[in-house]
Amino acid sequence: MVQTVKLSELANRKRRNTDKEEQEEESEIDISSTDSEAEDKDNDDDDKEEIVNIDFDFYNANPDVDFQALKNLSRQLFGAQESNKIQLSALADLMLASPMTTIKTDGTESDPYCFISFIDYKENRDSDYAKYLNKVDTKLSTFFRTIDNSNDKTCALVICERLINMPPEVVPPLYRITMDDIKNSANGDKEHFDFYVIVSRKYEVNFDTDETTLRSSKRVKNDEIDYFHEEDRFLEKYAKIQFQSEARKGVISTYMVLDHEGLMNGIADLEAEIANW
């Protein structure tokens, strides 16, 4: 049986299939209202924004259903140019074989609207995706060499993407549920990764749609840039390594390396901000 809970409580639940509590509003009708008053009320109601309640369910990956959606969301994450440098089918298979959580609204057989996957770098250092990241920038390749030369340090390649209109409130439970899975499957090993490499993206607020050339990030002012992923605003503060690509058609690829404490602090800051919304 599916139990209904508030979205804010999901981060404290170590379970897979939980629903956001439906918020029901009761409307009271004043029987003494005149016809004109009733008509005015109807007009006012028409002007109000309609609120749609959606139940978000958290699931493990479903290889029989999720493959194509993961490819499409990955293409959205990396953008048209960078995704051509990555074997997206191989990446989807790699994510499906790694700790992953998806968010769906119509059961496990439906397409995911959101996902997060933690790929073990050392176990997959020869994968196409790991090789791609090593070529992005010397900062990343130097970091990966450090991990390669370490006997005990671990690293996860974190890939997280969602439909544009998905609320950022889903992010903290998405991270925590997946990391709980990693902890529970550790089998005596470390309960979490030491480092996390996160690829994301920003966009230029006042991008000129006629511009097709690359723009150096030094030419783009900070107040002209916004985030596709709200959590990046908080994770960046704790990043050990952080850099971004040149702007291409208004989109900027971003790269972050965080240690475990930094990742947890960033998610905690996001939760605190959400609580004040």
Residue of higher predicted confidence among 174 and 223: 174
Task: Report if residue 270 sits inside a domain.
Answer: yes
Grade residue 59 by pLDDT with cuts at 50, 70 and 90.
very high
| Mean pLDDT (the chain, rounded) | 83
Task: Report if residue 121 sits inside a domain.
Answer: yes
Task: Report if residue 14 sits inside a domain.
Answer: no
Provide the number of structural domains found in the chain: 1
pLDDT on residue 201? 95
pLDDT on residue 206? 79
φ/ψ (deg, to 5) at 48: -80, 150
* pLDDT exceeds cutoff 50 at 215: yes
| Residue 218, domain CATH | 3.40.630.30
Task: Report if residue 262 sits inside a domain.
Answer: yes
* pLDDT exceeds cutoff 70 at 171: yes
* pLDDT exceeds cutoff 70 at 25: no
Task: Report if residue 264 sits inside a domain.
Answer: yes
Q: Which domain holds residue 96?
A: 3-9+55-275
Using the CB atoms, write b or e for 265-275: b if 16+ within 10 Å. bbbebbbeebe
Task: Report if residue 40 sits inside a domain.
Answer: no
CA 21 and chain centroid, separation: 22
Least confident window among 68-82, 114-128, 192-206, 221-235: 221-235
Task: Report if residue 268 sits inside a domain.
Answer: yes
Name residues whose C-beta falls within 8 Å of residue 32's C-beta, 6 or more positions apart in sequence.
none
Task: Report if residue 266 sits inside a domain.
Answer: yes
Tell me the C-alpha to C-alpha distance, in Å, between residue 66 and each of 93, 110, 117.
Answer: 10, 8, 13
* pLDDT exceeds cutoff 70 at 187: no
Strands 18-20 and 3-5: parallel
Tell me the sheet residues that pair with 197: 157, 257
Predicted TM-score (pTM) of the model is 0.79
When pLDDT is averaged across residues 3-20 and rounded to a whole number, the result is 40
Say how far apart CA 251 and CA 204 lie, in whole Å: 6
pLDDT on residue 198? 98
Q: Are 69 and 119 in contact (CB under 8 A)?
A: no
